Every structure is written in structure tokens, then in C-alpha cells.
Amino acid sequence: METNRLTDIAAFVLAVRTGSFTAAADQLGSTRSAVSKSVARLEARHDVRLLNRSTRTLSLTDEGAIAFERWQQILDDLEEVDATMAQRKGRPTGLLKLTAPLSFGQRYILPVLDDYLRQWPEVRAHVSFSDRFVDLIEEGYDIAVRIGEPDENSLLMGRTIACQQFVTCAAPAYLERRGTPHTPAEIAEHDAIVFLSADKPRPWQFQGSGAPLLIPAPGRLNLDSSEAMRSAALAGFGLVNLPTYILGEDLQQGHLVEVLRDWRATPDPIRLMYPSRRHLSPRVRSFIDLLAERWGEHAPWEASPGCA
């Protein structure tokens, strides 16, 4: 395969993945015009239209979808060869693609990633901090941080690195003013700060006698940002129910006080997921190892080992 043809294929695949010639050019260190010409050369070579173009979007034609699937596999295989060669050298190199939930990623993954990139200067990182579900296989990611029990998927492997523990708490001034609830049912008598998921208030979950207990929480203040919820709780607005990875430091410093501790819900695992069909490249393995080493016996947001 000629070198320029491989370059054209890479430009086409990246344009489809990113959704635009401009975004593909940015990642390739090229220009929008160069990416457009690469796609045009492929279309001329095969005498088919691969992409439908508009001023805002790109979409695959039927022929383009077939070409994208095969060419993406070719590029993935070449990437795996590079990873295998790097593994033989024992030194992390290449592009690490990582995705994690927004707040969790910004707070706890980014600092580790910063140190990782300093340690291994031959590695580049492409990171998506987003609460949307990312398909590792389809979108070509090396690692995803997932919270909760994973779906059964033979194409993925995982390693539990921590857990998500929801806690209910409030500022001391609020509790002094309104009192402390002793059962989940008493939440209805309080001002609640509730997370909006798909524009609907998310119920609060507690552990009852043997079974989970879901409490509808029609909050007085409903927000779609966990960071904004934290700020409102610190300001003394009301009760909030959020994970300790968001509130842990505030609890340790006494800015927030946990209530209903005996009713805590069962914690959810936080896992690193990665495609099982690929060799675990040095860049993936070394990042996982660094994270495990950095967090040691317990995660940095927990005052003690585990989620208790």
C-alpha cells in the first residue's frame, strides 16, 4: 500500500470519527483542505462517494460505511502492531485514548494522567471527560472509567480500582436551623438538592432492611451539575445526596456533615475497562499500574480503606 494512500485512509477514518474535516485536521496536525483532498482522492480511486457533505455535518454513504469499517480495522491492526513492538521495547509510546465521567475524571484521573505524561514523554493522550456512554470498540478508546456493575461484554475486560459511595449530608448551619433527619422518610420535611438526569429528578437510594429503598426526592433545588449541587450544599441550602469522590474532602474538613449513615446504599464499583481483543500495550498497562500504585490501599477521597 502506497504511503499517500494510507495517509488518505487515516484522514478519512479520523474525519468520520470526529465528525468534521476541521477536527480531523487538528488531530493530524494538517489542514481542512488537505483532509478534504485525501477523501476526494479515495473517492476518485474507487469511483464512489464515501461521504455526504453539508455545511455542518458529514454522513457516510452505504459504500462509505463499508469502507470505514474495513479501513478502521486496518488502522487498528497497525496500531496494535506498533503497541506490540513498543511492548517488546518495554517503553510506553503512542496515543492513549481515555474516557471517564466528567466530575470524577477532572478531579481524580486528570492529576494521575498529568504525572503519567510527565513520566513517559513519548506518549500522547486523547481524553474525553463526559457522562455519555462511550463505546470503546466503536470509538477506538483504550481505557474507560466506568461506575456501576458492568454489562456483560466478552469484548471488554475490567479491573476494579475503587468504589462509589453515595452519602447524604448538609452544612452544619443548615442542620442547626432545620434539624437532622433520622430516617429516609424524613427527607420530605427538608429542602433537598436533587440531581436532574435527562431532565428528571433522580431518586435517592438507601439500604433498607435487606432491600434497596428508593426515595422520590422532588427537590426544592434541582440541578444537572454535581459540582453545582456541592456548592449549594456548602452554602447551606439543604440536604444533598452525592458520591464521596465529590464530597469526601468537605466531609473530612467538617464543611459538610453526613446524616442517615446507617442507611447508606451499597457502594458501586469503579472500574477501568479496556478491549480484551488487544494486547495490553505498555501505555495502557503502565497507566493502570500507576493509578493502582497512586491510590494504594484506598482512594484519595476516602478517609479510610474501602467505602465504609
Tens of pLDDT, residue by residue over 104-140, are 999 999 999 999 999 999 999 999 998 888 888 778 8
Contact 242, 204 (CB under 8 A): no
Contact 170, 256 (CB under 8 A): yes
| Range in 95-99, 256-260, 282-286 with the lowest mean pLDDT | 282-286
Across the range 147-176, mean pLDDT stands at 85
Q: Answer with the one of 35, 61, 84 that is the final residue of a domain.
A: 84
Which grid cell sits at 127?
481524553
Across the range 174-203, mean pLDDT stands at 92
Residues 172 and 258 in one domain: yes
Domain with 148, as residue range(s), is 92-162+268-295
Separation between Cα atoms, residue 25 and residue 50, nearest integer Å = 18
- Whether 257 has a pLDDT exceeding 70, the answer reads yes
Residues 143 and 175 in one domain: no
Judged by DSSP in three states, 13 sits in helix
217: amino acid identity, one letter:
A
Strands (E), 109-254: 123-129, 143-147, 156-164, 166-170, 192-197, 200-201, 204-207, 212-215, 221-223, 239-243
Residues 244 and 176 in one domain: yes
The count of structural domains within the chain is: 3
Q: Answer with the one of 54, 84, 114 that is the final residue of a domain.
A: 84
Helix ranges (H only) for 1-157 are 3-18, 21-28, 32-46, 62-89, 102-104, 110-119, 136-139
Separation between Cα atoms, residue 189 and residue 192, nearest integer Å = 9
The whole-number pLDDT of residue 34 equals 92
Across the range 41-61, mean pLDDT stands at 87
Residues 45 and 120 in one domain: no
User: 123: which residues sit within 8 A by CB, 6+ positions away?
Assistant: 92, 93, 94, 95, 96, 116, 117, 283
The whole-number pLDDT of residue 295 equals 82
Separation between Cα atoms, residue 170 and residue 182, nearest integer Å = 13
Q: 218 lies in a domain?
A: yes
Residues 128 and 113 in one domain: yes
- Whether 277 has a pLDDT exceeding 60, the answer reads no
Q: Answer with the one of 49, 66, 84 that is the final residue of a domain.
A: 84
Q: 202 lies in a domain?
A: yes
CATH code of the domain in which 120 resides: 3.40.190.10
Residues 26 and 54 in one domain: yes
Q: 302 lies in a domain?
A: no
CB atoms within 10 A of CB 23: 15
Q: 303 lies in a domain?
A: no
Q: 306 lies in a domain?
A: no
Q: 301 lies in a domain?
A: no
| pTM greater than the 0.85 cutoff | no
With 0-12 / 13-18 / 19 or more C-beta atoms within 10 angstroms meaning exposed / middle / buried, residue 46 is exposed
* 14 or 296, higher pLDDT: 14
C-alpha 274: how far from its chain's center?
Answer: 12
Q: At what angle do helices 3-18 and 21-28 cross, to 10 degrees?
A: 120
* 101 or 2, higher pLDDT: 101
* 227 or 279, higher pLDDT: 227
The model's confidence at residue 215, banded by pLDDT at 50, 70 and 90, is: confident
The whole-number pLDDT of residue 76 equals 80
Contact 206, 212 (CB under 8 A): yes
Q: 308 lies in a domain?
A: no
Across the range 55-77, mean pLDDT stands at 87
